[in-house]
Amino acid sequence: MFNQLTAGDIVSLIKKREISACEVTNDIFKQIDRVENNVKAFLYINRENAIEQAKSIDDKIRRGEEIPILAGVALTVKDILAVRGMETTCGSKILKGFVPPYSATVVRALREAGAIIIGKANMDEFAMGSSTENSAFYATCNPWDTERVPGGSSGGSAAAVAADETHIALGTDTGGSIRQPASFCGIVGLKPTYGRVSRYGLIAYASSLDQIGPMTKDVKDAAIMMNIISGQDKKDATSANLKVPDYLNACREGLKGLKIGIPREYFIEGLDLEVKKTIEQSLKIYEKLGAEISEVSLPHTEYSLPAYYLIATAEASSNLARYDGVQYGYRAKVDGDISSLYQKTRSEGFGNEVKRRIMLGTYALSSGYYDDYYLKAQKVRTLIREDFNNVFEKCDVLITPTAPTPAFKLSEKINDPLTMYLSDIYTIPINLAGIPAISINCGYSRTNLPIGMQIIGKSFDEETIIRVAYNFEQYSDIRKQKSPINIFVAKENVE
């Protein structure tokens, strides 16, 4: 089954001419036809255009032309990233029907590298959520248990990779939205340093926090994607003018002498005991590999959640003000003046979670409250960043759980926003500090749900977290297990 292979395996077979890009693409769509009704990972499937892309690659191979690094690899794009000619909704009714005239820089780079865009992935509306239940269209299900959430907001991307509906995917991470769904779905998810990857073409939620990153089946595929999407972009003033290393070279064995810090604030009440035990077992593997492990402290961790939700919602309030029914997207039918148009369009076009965050952010920015809330949150953000700087004087990386629990059930937390927000408690500090982190699968619960381990690195040191993740992946046999979605589908078909 070509759909179960990694991107690296696919390119190797295509280069040897053992398989064709068309065979790979057709096999991916057969898998989508088998499982998509159960997973609901996609908002848009790019079937005809994808097959044309595959034929073009096969023609190049027949002519003896150079084969791109991702030739024939199936790519799924989170629906918050612009793709020219494809509807881009951000999972929201208010952008229904919007077709961008351009593609995001990362999308263009991956297409030029030979990746075939399979479709646009479902997501929480405007990336606001931790379960992909806040999509305006439908909830996505976890391939490991279709009665559970895949995480969010990049849940569609994570589920598509885990269900073998794609080889690689693009997600975005504002407070954990790559890493948390990667944890819930048992895949690899990497949030780069803020500024490492261009955000041009990313529809903004919180501009100082948003970051694009890879979601893959193994660490090597994440490294390959990072090689392609990293670097300065003149279209994005926030992208850093720094040399990009070869991340694939970081996938090498050897961790002797590496210093790993374990933040005590991440192993407190509220952490699922199975998650804690699995992380502790994973640390023993690192000790066997020669790493030195010590406990460290990040004293301002407890303030990260309130600081994040003040900063993120304030920025969202500003960014989402542009959706008014005039320029693009949904427009309500009204007989009144322009103010009535704005009000009705936004009332009908935005979902409850988006409205909740806009109101919170507008309040935090309002006269008389700015200093008490937003400004104070920014000061706390500085303290959190300093905490990380201090521990990285003693450690090379930090290791924590990615999420406090395995995937929870659909509808379990949707009506309790505060409980839902706690799902990102271990990922949010990393976004506030602007540093890189990767989530990899490190084990399973008693009910066979994946458990994610988060590896946090210094600013612009994605190389080290990739190496640390790669060594764990090579030493353990955890990644060899596959999600049981095909079993669920077969059982349902029998019934």
Length reported for the chain: 495
Using the predicted structure, report yes or no on whether residue 235 has a pLDDT greater than 70.
yes
304 assigned to active site: no
Question: In the predicted model, what is the mean pLDDT of the chain?
Answer: 94
* pLDDT above 90: residue 417: no
Catalytic residue among 78, 120, 191, 220: 78
pLDDT, tens digit (0-9, with 9 covering 90-100), for 118-155: 999 999 999 999 999 999 999 999 999 999 999 999 99
C-alpha 215/C-alpha 178 separation (Å) is 7
Catalytic residue among 20, 103, 177, 459: 177
- Proportion of the chain above pLDDT 70, given as a percent: 98
pLDDT in tens, 21-73: 999 999 999 999 999 999 999 999 999 999 999 999 999 999 999 999 999 99
pLDDT mean over 208-222: 98
pLDDT digits (tens, 9 = 90+) for 268-295: 888 999 999 999 999 999 999 999 999 9
Q: Between vectors from CA 312 to CA 311 and to CA 314, what angle results, nearest 5°?
A: 65
Q: Over the Cα atoms of the chain, what is R_g? A: 22
Does 459 reside within a domain? yes
The answer as to whether 379 is a domain residue is: no
Structural domain harbouring 466:
2-298+386-494
Tell me, rounded to whole angstroms, the distance of Cα 271 from its chain centroid.
22
The CATH number of whichever domain residue 143 belongs to comes to 3.90.1300.10
Percent of the chain with pLDDT over 90: 87
pLDDT digits (tens, 9 = 90+) for 247-263: 999 999 999 999 999 99
pLDDT digits (tens, 9 = 90+) for 295-345: 999 999 999 999 999 999 999 999 999 998 888 788 988 887 888 898 999
Q: CA angle, corner 235, sides to 233 and 238, nearest 5?
A: 70
Give catalytic status of residue 198 as yes or no.
no
Q: Which residue has the higher pLDDT, 367 or 182?
A: 182
- CB of 130 closer than 8 Å to CB of 153: yes
In a domain, 460, yes or no: yes
Q: Is 177 a catalytic residue?
A: yes
Average the pLDDT over 179-196 and give the result. 98
Q: How confident is the model at residue 264 (pLDDT cuts 50, 70, 90)?
A: very high
**Is the per-residue pLDDT at 76 higher than 60?**
yes
In this structure, is residue 307 part of a structural domain? no
Report residue 489's pLDDT band, with 50, 70 and 90 as the boundaries: low
Task: Give a yes or no: residue 488 inside a domain.
Answer: yes
pTM, rounded to two decimals: 0.95
CA distance 463 to 191: 12
Nearest to 34 by CA among 11, 7, 1, 6: 1
Establish if 377 belongs to a structural domain: no
Show Cβ contacts of residue 91 under 8 Å, excluding neighbours closer than 6 positions: 43, 79, 80, 122, 123, 124, 125, 126, 134, 135, 136, 137, 153
β-strand 116-121 against 42-45: which pairing, if any? antiparallel
- Per-residue pLDDT at 441 exceeds 60: yes
| Per-residue confidence (pLDDT) for residue 495, from 0 to 100 | 45
pLDDT digits (tens, 9 = 90+) for 332-352: 888 878 888 989 999 999 999
Q: Is the model's pLDDT at 106 over the cut of 70?
A: yes
Residue 119 lies inside a defined structural domain of this protein: yes
Give how many domains the chain has, as a whole number: 1
The reply to whether 144 falls in a domain is yes
Please give the pLDDT value at position 479. Answer: 65
Non-local (6+) Cβ contacts of 39 within 8 A are 140, 141, 143, 146, 159, 160, 163, 165, 485
Per the CB < 8 A criterion, the answer to whether 286 and 255 are in contact is yes
pLDDT of residue 494: 42
Which one from 20, 103, 131, 153 is the annotated catalytic residue? Answer: 153
Torsion angle of the four alpha carbons 140, 145, 147, 149, in this order, in degrees rounded to the nearest 10: -40
Output the pLDDT for position 488.
54
pLDDT of residue 337: 84
Strands 116-121 and 74-78: parallel
